[in-house]
């Protein structure tokens, strides 16, 4: 080896990565789906078909006498032609949602809670990591979700006061 020679050690760019799709209602967590591949529009629609149980939510709607309204961000796969067609075919009303507004999206706070809880358990391997994700997801209390929903008027007011800029939420 020469004095100026540099050895490059190949390594993975990223650690093993898990992606999570989950949904919440106004007072409870719904299903959660964990996957590793990068999602495209077709994958997204398949996740919705397999995990967004319209029969369950339609029963919930009948009980609370309101409409199912779905909120998602403006990721291109969420607004793709195939996803839009899925929502129209299943008569799911979507909220128009501004880009870059995580402080207003309740599920972003749920993701933060989930991440903190799972990482505090210090998973030792992927199998344990997935197990902890599911356990912690289903242990998020209805009270936590209700409190987040009840904070919506304050969040909206603060957003107005900040002229659309970031809030303390």
Residue 167 CA, distance from chain mean position: 20
Nearest to 84 by CA among 54, 45, 120: 45
The residues near 59 (Cβ < 8 Å, ≥ 6 apart) are none
Cβ-based neighbours of 141, under 8 Å, separated by 6 or more: none
From residue 28, alpha-carbon distances to 1, 31, 44, 85 in Å are 62, 10, 22, 27
Whether the CA torsion 160, 161, 164, 169 is positive or negative: it is negative
pTM: 0.77
Q: What is the pLDDT of residues 112-125, one digit of tens each?
A: 999 999 999 999 88
The count of C-alpha atoms lying within 13 angstroms of the C-alpha of 1, restricted to the half-sphere facing its C-beta, is 5
**What pLDDT sits at residue 44?**
95
Residue scoring higher pLDDT (4 or 115): 115
Alpha-carbon distance of 22 to 91, in angstroms, equals 20
**Dihedral sign, CA of 146, 136, 133, 31?**
negative
Looking at the chain, the whole-number percentage of residues with pLDDT higher than 90 is 37
Distance CA 165, CA 98 (A): 12
pLDDT digits (tens, 9 = 90+) for 41-91: 999 999 998 887 665 555 544 444 345 678 888 889 999 999 999 999 988
């Amino acid at each position: 080896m020469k004095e100026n020679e540099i050895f490059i050690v190949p390594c993975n760019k990223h650690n093993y990565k898990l992606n999570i799709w989950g949904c919440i209602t106004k007072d409870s967590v719904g299903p959660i789906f964990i996957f590793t591949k990068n999602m495209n529009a077709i994958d997204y629609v398949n996740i919705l078909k397999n995990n967004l149980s319209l029969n369950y939510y339609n029963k919930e709607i009948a009980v609370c006498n309101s409409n199912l309204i779905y909120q998602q961000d403006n990721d291109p796969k969420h607004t793709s032609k195939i996803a839009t067609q899925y929502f129209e075919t299943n008569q799911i009303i979507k909220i128009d949602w501004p880009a870059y507004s995580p402080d207003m999206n309740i599920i972003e706070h749920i993701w933060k809670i989930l991440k903190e809880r799972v990482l505090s358990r210090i998973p030792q391997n992927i199998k344990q990591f997935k197990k902890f994700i599911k356990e912690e997801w289903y242990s998020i209390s209805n009270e936590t979700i209700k409190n987040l929903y009840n904070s919506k008027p304050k969040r909206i007011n603060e957003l107005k006061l900040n002229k659309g800029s970031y809030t303390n939420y």
